[in-house]
Chain A
Amino acid sequence: MRQVLRRALGALSILVGIALLNFLLLQLAPGDMVDAMVGEAGGATPEYMAELRAKFGLDQPMFVRLARYLGALAQLDLGYSHRKQAEVLSLILDRLPPTLLLMTAALSIALPVGTLLGATQSRRQGSWLDTLLSVIVLSTHALPAFWLGLMAIVFLAADRGWFPTGGMTSFDAPADGWDRALDVLHHLALPALTLANVYIAVYARLMRSALLELKGADFIRTARAKGLSTERVFWVHTVRNALLPMVTMLGMQIASMLSGAVIVESVFGWPGLGRLAFEAVVARDTNLLLGIMFLGSILVTLVNLGVDLLYSVIDPRVLARGAS
């Protein structure tokens, strides 16, 4: 119990630190929201700009704004976006599901495909198949996501008409039910594949090297000596142990995908969080950006907790070590 409490307190202090850091970091960007607004509108008078700054509280000294921000955060209030004229929380909650959907879809393609490719390669180490797969995996990994996405749009959507060129739903889509799910899936296919492509290579390489490392391990030899079949030794003993680094990587990538999806979201016009964050940067919408960054850090903290738990499921030794 005390363990859990200590853990939660640790996470909390990390979150406060992150909030502080986020705030200070955003002070470094030249220009504020009023500059961006007036720049977009094509002009203003000095008085009008001063009036807007006062209205948005931007005329206050930095520590006052920081105190206000942390104070609001303590009451779980993420604030108001003056640029979007909406509550930050509702803006984020609107955009979170599409990003989570895209992320989940991409990972559920990348993880099994990458694992399978890596496993195949390790079993045929040094063969022509190993080399061929390495070349394919690495060269698709080297393709920038926006280029690959664009090519997918040009050839598979615009040219063949197999997929829509972008967006998340069609304009005639039914509001719910299976038809809607299918419609979303149809729109999801290309962006998810594009995003997955980047990660497939990472998992394949990781799996391959982890498996090769385990090849000569003592417990594998023991399993073999027990008379277990090659397949069983491979899938149950070797692969299971190789999954540990994969889970670590997965945790790291879920975090990076929140931001990494911005390019894919832009190319495919996917209404996700990455684009919202990007727009907030351009518009100097500090409240919105701080909100996104803060929720992002909560998500990362949760994912890390989840990864820790997953470790102990995959490898009971982790739990034993943690308890001792």
Chain B
Amino acid sequence: MKRRAALLALGALGAYGSTRIVRGRAPSAVGRRLIVVTIEPTTVLTSAFDPVMTNCLIGSKVMEGLVTYDVDLNPVPALAERWEVSPDGRSIRFHLRPNVKWHDGADFTSEDVAFTLLESWKKLHPFGRAAWATVRAVQTPDPLTVDVHLEGPARYIFGYLNTFGAQVLPKHLYAGSDIRGNPHNQAPVGTGPFVFQEWQRGSHVRLRKNPHYWRPGQPRLDEVIFRFIPDAPSRAAALQSGEVQLALGGAIPHLSLRRFAQNDRFQLNTDDGNFLSSLSMVLCNVRSGALADRRVRQALMHAIDREALLRLVFRGYGKVATGPVPSSVRRYYTTEVPQYPYDLARARGLLKDAGHADMRLQLAFGQPEALRTALFLRQSLAKIGVTLELKQSDATTWLRHVFTDQEFQLALTGLHMLPDPTLGVQRLYWGKNIHKGVPWTNGSGYLNPELDAVMEAAQIEGDEAERRRLMQRWQQIVQTDLPVLNLIESAWVSVSTANLQRPTRQGDGLFDNLGDAYFA
């Protein structure tokens, strides 16, 4: 019902959009204020222990990480100016940027980094706990040097050092407190180009310029406001009206993007979400039933015309996935894995071999935007005699169904794969990551000791070339067994007014601190 209304609204917007002029105040008055439309964070604005996208979209303008990432996901210095890895790969030395101050005037030092690493990233952060688990000791020989000593080589750490993965907290405001409950989480004090001013619940967050920012000449804007609009069509309307000037990735649904793409008052950015490297996928419960048979899973994959899925549902914003690691993760991506081209005859043959010519399967999903993909899959699989029953629920019900009850058959979702496969991808396939009751673990129940051995070897490999070889090996195993059907690498598309310039392109542009942003 809601969807139909959205479509009607889009039609109406489309018809009127092209002739509309920008309203509101004249550019001179608002020229140094940027209004970003987004969804309100649930609890906090920091991501030092709670890496939720909505938090970090806002918090990243106030609080920084050690690095940022370029579009190919290579680290770029931020709070860390440079770093060295010891020849045995067991220690990393970070040289911090001098003359950086917290918004309250205190100096930013190696103590802050060591404190956050040990107390927040390593203890509380859901990914950080895995990423930093190997840390043996942290030393701070001087205020601008941090030595991290590891149990063994851990190259994956370099995929997770930005404001989303490793945001630095001010030790002087957090030490001795319960970090999760610290009031500064809702009124953050950072080192970034913008200073937190107010969070009016249900309405907006307001940030103002940090005049003492360490990067000369920045920020170029005086004020950044995040306005909360829960309803997607209303967000699109606000952007269209010129009342807001930037909608960061995902705020505007794929369906509405064409209208902005065809209008030269707006520009689109598809690099911003490279860091997240999100995949749309179907988890197969391989524990029992027909799906325990690899041939059935391969048959399903052959029966899905993913080019059509990309075109019709994702409106072309993304790529067809070729394996478990998305192409945006350049360093470890490979096409040297089995492929499953759209081939109904082959799909039927595989099903017949497996003895499952006609069957019913249930597809569960918990994200409202997954409905169209689910409908597409139902139509596709009907062609090979598989009747798909759709089970839609809210996100938490879905999580329980898949990860706690483990009674599902197929589960459709979208998930971030992140720059390093050891952190982002391995969790879905690793036998040791089957944990009943824990979301986003190996929910398929897929257990392959051979794969586990390769994954664990890749995890601790210090030599980059060898690590890449091991990663490619495990991608081959995964793509042969298909416990997960990887469908589409969906792009996060940011839309802004044409006059908003963001000169530095970032792979983690969703969490770009907007220091260089200005209105032309």
Give Cα A266–Cα B233 distance, bound, in whole angstroms.
11
Knowing A144-B5, A269-B228, A282-B394 are in contact, say whether A91-B201 is a contact too (CB < 8 A): yes
A275 in contact with B230 given A40-B52, A144-B1, A158-B240 (CB within 8 Å): yes
Q: Which residues of B contact A35 (CB under 8 A)?
A: 396, 399-400, 404, 439
B397, A30: Cβ atoms under 8 Å? yes
Q: Of A11-19, A45-53, A200-208, which binds chain B?
A: A45-53
Question: How far in angstroms is the closest Cβ of chain A from B209?
Answer: 15
CA distance A171 to B228 in the complex (A): 13
Q: Which residue of B lies closest to A165 (CB)?
A: B238
Contact B127 A283 (CB under 8 A): no
What separation, in Å, do the CA atoms of A36 and B50 have in the docked complex? 13
Q: Does A153 contact B (CB under 8 A)?
A: yes
Q: Is B355 an interface residue (CB 8 A)?
A: no
Specify the chain B residue showing the minimal Cβ separation from A145: B5
B403-422 to A contact mask, C-beta < 8 Å, 1/0? 01000000000011000000
* CA A237 to CA B409, docked complex, whole Å: 67
| CB atoms of A154 and B238 under 8 A apart | no
Contact partner, A154, options B13, B200, B404, Cβ 8 Å: B13
| Contact call A276/B126, Cβ cutoff below 8 A | no
List which A268-295 residues lie within 8 A (CB) of chain B: 268-272, 275-276, 279, 281-284
Taking the nearest CB of chain A, how far is it from the CB of B296, in angstroms?
28
Q: Is the CB–CB distance between B9 and A147 below 8 Å?
A: yes
**A141 in the interface (beta carbon within 8 A):** no
B197 to chain A, nearest CB (A): 11
Residues in A neighbouring B127, C-beta threshold 8 A: 42-43
Encoded as 1 (CB less than 8 Å from any B CB) or 0, chain A from 172 to 214 comes to: 0000000000000000000000000000000000000000000
Q: Given A151-B9, A161-B23 in contact, is the A282-B243 Cβ separation under 8 Å?
A: no
Supposing A158-B241, A165-B238 touch, asked if A146 and B202 sit within 8 A by C-beta, the answer is no
Residue from B204, B225, B237, B440 within 8 A of A165 (CB atoms) = B237
In the complex, the answer to whether B202 meets A39 with C-beta atoms within 8 Å is no
CA distance A279 to B44 in the complex (A): 15
Q: Which of B211-239 contact A (CB under 8 A)?
A: 225, 227-231, 233-234, 237-238
- The yes or no answer to B203 lying at the interface (CB within 8 A) is yes
Report the interface size for chain B: residues with CB under 8 A from the other chain: 65
Interface size on A, residues (CB 8 A): 58
B234 and A267 within 8 A (CB): yes
Check A146/B44 contact, CB under 8 A, given A30-B397, A42-B126: no
Cα separation A171 to B127 with both chains bound (whole Å):
37
Q: Does A244 contact B (CB under 8 A)?
A: no
CB-CB nearest in chain B for A162: B23
A167 on the B face (CB < 8 A)? yes
Most buried by B among A36, A146, A165, A266: A165
Which A residues are in CB contact (< 8 Å) with B201? 84, 91, 94-95, 271
Whether the Cβ atoms of B237 and A154 lie closer than 8 Å is yes
Q: Which residues on the B side are within 8 Å of A283 (C-beta)?
A: 42
Q: Is A269's CB under 8 angstroms from B230's CB? A: yes
Contacting A266 at CB < 8 Å: which of B8, B185, B230, B237? B230
Flag if A83 contacts B9 (CB, 8 Å).
Answer: no
Partner of A43, one of B12, B206, B396, B440: B440
Contact present for B5 and A41 (CB under 8 Å): no
Query: Distance in Å from the Cβ of A18 to the closest Cβ of chain B?
Result: 24
Cβ B20 vs Cβ A43 within 8 A: no
A271 touches which of B13, B126, B202, B394 (Cβ 8 Å): B202
Q: Say if the beta carbon of A150 comes within 8 Å of chain B.
A: yes
**Are A46 and B437 in contact (CB-based, < 8 A)?**
yes
B285 to chain A, nearest CB (A): 17
> In the complex, which of the residues A150, A166, A272 contacts B9, with contact meaning CB atoms closer than 8 Å?
A150
| A117, CB-defined interface residue at 8 Å | no
Q: How far is the CA of A36 from the CA of B415 in the complex (A)?
A: 15
B87 within 8 A of A: no
Instruction: Give the contacting residue for B43; candidates A44, A45, A84, A267; CB below 8 A.
Output: A84
- Is B387 engaged at the interface, CB distance under 8 Å to the other chain? no
Residues B44 and A85 in contact, CB atoms below 8 Å apart: yes
Asked whether B427 lies within 8 Å of A154 as measured between CB atoms, the reply is: no
Q: Is B27 an interface residue (CB 8 A)?
A: no
Contact B238 A158 (CB under 8 A): yes
Report whether A31 and B9 are in contact in the complex, using a CB–CB cutoff of 8 Å. no
**Contact with B24, one of A42, A154, A161 (Cβ below 8 angstroms):** A161
Least Cβ–Cβ distance between A262 and chain B, in angstroms = 10
Does B395 lie within 8 Å of A36, measured CB to CB?
Answer: yes
Q: Counting CB contacts under 8 A, is A236 at the interface?
A: no
**Which residues of the partner chain B approach A169 to less than 8 Å between Cβ atoms?**
203
Q: Please tell me if the beta carbons of A44 and B439 are within 8 angstroms of each other in the complex.
A: yes
Q: Are B203 and A168 in contact (CB under 8 A)?
A: yes
User: Is the pair B439, A269 in contact by a Cβ cutoff of 8 Å?
Assistant: no
Taking a contact as CB atoms under 8 Å apart, the answer to whether B203 and A31 are in contact is no
The answer to whether A154 touches B16, judged by C-beta atoms less than 8 angstroms apart, is yes
Whole-angstrom distance between the alpha carbons of A94 and B199 in the complex?
Answer: 13
Q: Which residues of B, 27-68, contact A by the 8 Å Cβ criterion? A: 33, 35, 40, 42-44, 50-52
The residue on B at minimum CB distance from A160 is B23
Complex contacts, A267 vs chain B, CB 8 Å: 231, 233-234
Residues of A near B186 (CB, < 8 A) are 85
Taking a contact as CB atoms under 8 Å apart, the answer to whether A159 and B440 are in contact is no
1/0 per position for B1-17, CB-CB distance to A under 8 A? 11001101100110010
Residues of chain A with a CB closer than 8 A to B43's CB: 37, 83-85
> Which residues of chain B have a CB within 8 Å of any CB of chain A?
1-2, 5-6, 8-9, 12-13, 16, 20, 23-24, 33, 35, 40, 42-44, 50-52, 124, 126-127, 129, 181, 185-186, 200-204, 206, 225, 227-231, 233-234, 237-238, 240-241, 243, 393-397, 399-401, 404, 415-416, 427, 435, 437-441
Provide a sorted-by-A list of 24 A–B residue pairs whose CB atoms are within 8 angstroms: A30-B393, A30-B401, A32-B396, A38-B439, A39-B399, A40-B42, A42-B126, A43-B427, A43-B438, A46-B438, A85-B44, A144-B1, A146-B231, A147-B9, A150-B9, A150-B234, A150-B237, A154-B237, A157-B241, A158-B20, A166-B238, A168-B203, A268-B234, A271-B203
Inter-chain pairs besides A94-B201, A161-B24, A282-B394, 8 sampled, C-beta below 8 Å: A29-B397, A30-B401, A35-B439, A36-B395, A42-B440, A44-B439, A155-B12, A267-B233
| Chain A residues within CB distance 8 Å of chain B | 29-32, 35-46, 48-49, 83-85, 91, 94-95, 98, 144, 146-147, 150-151, 153-155, 157-159, 161, 164-169, 171, 266-272, 275-276, 279, 281-284
